[in-house]
Amino acid sequence: MELVVEITDADRLRRATYERIDGDESMAAEERGHARRMVESDEAEALAYLIEPFELVEEVPGVELAQASWSSEHVDYDPRAAEWSGAFADLDEDD
């Protein structure tokens, strides 16, 4: 499974992540500082602190999460560009 998201407001994402990190009583102060620095440098890190992959699939019958990882890539999305032509056609078929 691959999940593609568009971050429309990176500052808002970071603020929400900082709140989560600051409210996590299980993290030591040093860990919080490290986590905040990681979030500043990479939106994927922010998502990793806010989204628990297990929770995405725990209610799906017959599915067990074996492994989850995060990565990010910055791309310029232009729906009119040839490289994106038909990229999401299978999603449009359900409409």
In terms of Cα–Cα distance, which of 41, 52, 35 is closest to 74?
Answer: 41
Which tens digits make up the pLDDT trace of 14-73? 999 999 999 999 999 999 999 999 999 888 889 888 988 888 889 999 999 998 877 777
Structural domain contains residue 4: no
The per-residue pLDDT for 54 is 87
Tally of domains within the chain: 1
93 pLDDT above the threshold of 60: no
Structural domain contains residue 30: yes
Q: Which domain holds residue 66?
A: 10-92
Q: pTM (2 decimals)?
A: 0.65
The per-residue pLDDT for 48 is 86
Cα-based distances in Å from 2 to 5, 30, 68, 69: 10, 33, 10, 10
What phi and psi values does residue 28 have, to the nearest 5 degrees?
A: -75, 160
Structural domain contains residue 57: yes
Structural domain contains residue 53: yes
Confidence of residue 91 (pLDDT cuts 50, 70, 90): low
Structural domain contains residue 86: yes
Cβ atoms 77, 6 nearer than 8 A: yes
Separation between Cα atoms, residue 39 and residue 57, nearest integer Å:
24
